[in-house]
Structure 1
Amino acid sequence: MAATFTLLCVGIFLSIAVLAVLIGQTRNSTPAIYGGCLMISLLALAGGIISLLTGAAGTEVVLPLGLPWIGAHFRIDPLAGFFLAVVNLGGAAASLYGIGYGRHEHEPSRVLPFFPAFLAGMNLVVMADDAFTFLFSWEFMSLSSWALVMAHHGERENARAGLVYLIMASFGTLVLLLAFGLLAGPDGFYAFTAIRTHHLSQLQAGTVLVLALLGTGSKAGLVPLHVWLPLAHPAAPSHVSALMSGVMTKVAVYAFIRIAFDLLGPPDWWWSVPVLVMSGGSAVLGVLYAMMQDDLKRVLAYSTIENIGIIFVTLGLALTFEANGLHAAGALALTAGLFHVLNHALFKSVLFFGAGAVLVSTGLRRMDHLGGLINPMPVTSILVLVACAAISALPPLNGFVSEWLAFQAILLSPQLPQWGLRLLVPAVGALLALSAALAAACFVRVFGIVFLGRPRTPAAQQAREVDLWSQSAMAVLASLCLLAGILPGFIIDSIAPSVYSLIKARMPVQGQIQWLSIVPVAESRSSYNGLLVFIFSAVSAALAAFIIHRFASRATRRAPIWDCGFPDPSPATQYSAESFAQPIRRVFGTPVFRAREQVEMPEPGNLAPARIIVTLHDPAWEALYTPITNAVSFVARQLDRLQFLTIRHYLGFVFFALVTLLMVLALWP
Structure 2
Amino acid sequence: MTPVQVILVSVGAYVGTAVLGAATGRKAWATSLVYTLALCVSAVILATAVLQLLGAANGAPASEMSLPLGLPWLGSHLRLDALSAFFLSVVGLGGLLASLYGLGYGYHEQAPQRVLPFFPAFLAGMNLVILAADAFTFLISWEFMSLASWALVMAHHHEAANRRAGYIYIVMASFGTLTLLLAFGLLAGADGNYAFAAIRSAEHTPLIAGSVLVLLLLGAGSKAGLVPLHVWLPLAHPAAPSHVSALMSGVMTKVAIYGFVRVVFDLLGQPTPWQGILVLVIGGATASLGILHALMERDLKRLLAYSTIENIGIIFVSLGLTLAFAANGMSGPAALAFTAALFHVLNHSFFKSLLFFGAGAVLSATGERDMEKLGGLIHRMPVTSFAFLVGSVAISALPPFNGFASEWLAFQAILQSPDLPQWGLKIIVPAIGGLLALSAALAATCFVKAFGVTFLGRPRTAIASVAAEVDRFSLAAMLVLAALCLLAGILPGLVMDSLAPVALALVGDRLPEQAGIGWLSIVPITETHSSYNGLLVFLFIAFSASVSAFLVHRLGSRALRRAPAWDCGFPEPSPMTQYSAAGFAQPIRRVFGTLVFRARERVDMPAPGELRPARLTVTMRDLIWDWLYAPLTGVVGYAAEKLNHLQFLTIRRYLSLVFVALILLLLVVALWT
Sort the TM-score into its range (normalised by shorter chain): over 0.9
Query: How do 1:185-200 and structure 2 match up within 5 A?
Result: 185-200=189-204
Is 1:566 equivalent to 2:570 in the alignment? yes
1:601–1:64 Cα change, 3 Å: same
What's the RMSD between the two structures over aligned residues? Answer: 1.7
| In structure 2, distance between residues paired with 1:412 and 1:665 | 50
Q: Does 1:523 align with 2:527?
A: yes
The residue number in structure 2 matching 1:461 is 465
Tell me how far apart the structure 1 counterparts of residues 659 and 160 of structure 2 sit (CA, whole Å): 48
Quick one: which amino acid aligns to residue 340 of structure 1?
Answer: H
Q: Is the 8 A contact 1:226 1:305 kept in 2?
A: yes
Q: Which residue of 1 aligns with 2:84?
A: 80
Using a 3 Å threshold, how does the CA distance of structure 1 residues 138 and 527 change in structure 2: closer, same or farther? same
Q: 1:194: how far off?
A: 0.7
CA distance, structure 2, for counterparts of residue 251 and residue 119 of structure 1: 11
Which of 492, 505, 511 is the aligned partner of 2:515?
Answer: 511
The question of 1:342 aligning with 2:346 is answered yes
591-600 or 341-350: which moved more? 591-600
TM superposition score normalised by structure 2: 0.96
Q: Percent identity?
A: 63
Note if contact 1:230-1:298 (Cα within 8 Å) is conserved in structure 2.
yes
Is 2:650 the counterpart of 1:650? yes
Shift of 1:636: 2.4
Q: 1:639: how far off? A: 3.5
The equivalent of 1:431 in structure 2 is: 435
Structure 1 residue 542 corresponds to structure 2 residue 546: yes
Instruction: Give distance in 2, aligned partners of 1:652 and 1:37.
Output: 56
Alignment of 1:385-534 (within 5 A): 385-534=389-538
Q: Give the unaligned 5+ runs of structure 1.
A: none
Instruction: For 1:140-151, list aligned pairs within 5 A.
Output: 140-151=144-155
Partner of residue 66, structure 1: 70
Match 1:153 to one of 157, 162, 175: 157
CA separation in 2, counterparts of 1:366 and 1:136? Answer: 38
Return the letter of the residue paired with 1:27. Answer: A
SS at match of 1:612: strand
From 608, 626, 636, give the equivalent of 1:632.
Answer: 636
Cα distance change on mapping 1:510 and 1:661 into 2, 3 Å:
closer
User: In structure 2, the residue corresponding to 1:365 is in which secondary structure?
Assistant: coil
> Is 1:619 paired with 2:620?
no
Task: Give the C-alpha shift of residue 403 in structure 1.
Answer: 0.3
- Give SS of 1:189's match: coil
Q: 1:651 to 1:32 in 2, by over 3 A?
A: closer
Q: Which residue of 2 aligns with 1:329?
A: 333
Q: Determine the C-alpha separation between the residues in 2 that align with 1:478 and 1:661.
A: 58
Cα distance change on mapping 1:611 and 1:6 into 2, 3 Å: same
Report how far residue 273 of structure 1 moved: 1.4
Report the residue type matching 1:403 in the other structure.
E
**Aligned residues of 1:296 and 1:365 also touching (Cα < 8 A):** yes
CA distance in 2: counterparts of 1:5 and 1:655, whole angstroms: 52
The alignment partner of 2:80 has SS state of coil
Residue 17 (structure 2) aligns with: 16
* TM-score normalized with structure 1 length: 0.97
Structure 1's 592 and 666: CA in aligned 2 closer, same or farther, altered over 3 A? closer
Residue type matched to 1:650 in 2?
T
Aligned equivalent of 2:604, options 600, 614, 635: 600
Tell me the equivalent position of 1:34.
35
Letter in 2 for 1:604: P
Q: 1:222: Cα distance to partner?
A: 0.3
Could you tell me which residue of structure 2 aligns to residue 363 of structure 1? Answer: 367
Inter-CA distance 60–560: structure 2 relative to 1 (3 Å threshold): closer
User: Structure 1 stretch 475-484 or stretch 628-637: which is displaced more?
Assistant: 628-637
Classify the secondary structure of the residue corresponding to 2:602: strand
Query: How much has 1:268 moved relative to structure 2?
Result: 1.1
Picking from 294, 301, 307, the partner of 1:303 is 307
Tell me the distance in 2 between the aligned counterparts of 1:428 and 1:116. Answer: 39
**Matches of 1:585 and 1:412 in 2, distance apart?**
34
Q: Deviations over 1:43-72 (max 9, x none)?
A: 100011011111134232111111113111
Is the Cα contact below 8 Å between 1:75 and 1:129 reproduced in 2? yes
Measure, in 2, the Cα distance between the counterparts of 1:590 and 1:292.
13
State whether residues 57 and 76 of structure 1, in contact with CA within 8 Å, keep that contact through their aligned partners in structure 2.
no
Residues 423-461 of structure 1 show CA distances to partners (whole Å, capped at 9, x for unaligned) of: 000010000000000000000000000000000000101
Check conservation: 1:2, 1:58, Cα contact below 8 A.
no
Letter of the 1:183 partner, please give it: L
Distance 1:50 1:112 in 2: 30
2:69 alignment partner, SS class: coil
Q: Kindly state the Cα deviation for residue 197 of structure 1 after the two structures are TM-superposed.
A: 1.2
Q: Distance in 2 between matches of 1:655 and 1:335?
A: 57
Q: Which residue of 1 aligns with 2:44?
A: 43
Distance 1:490 1:665 in 2: 55
Separation in 2 of the partners of 1:519 and 1:482?
Answer: 19
User: Matches of 2:358 and 2:558 in 1, distance apart?
Assistant: 37
SS of corresponding position for 2:617: strand
Most deviating of 409-418 and 583-592: 583-592
- Structure 2 CA distance for aligned equivalents of residues 582 and 177 of structure 1: 44
Q: Is 1:374 the counterpart of 2:375 in the alignment? A: no
How much has 1:29 moved relative to structure 2? 0.6
The whole-number CA distance in structure 2 between the counterparts of 1:44 and 1:225 is: 31
Query: How many angstroms apart in 1 are the aligned matches of 2:659 and 2:36?
Result: 64
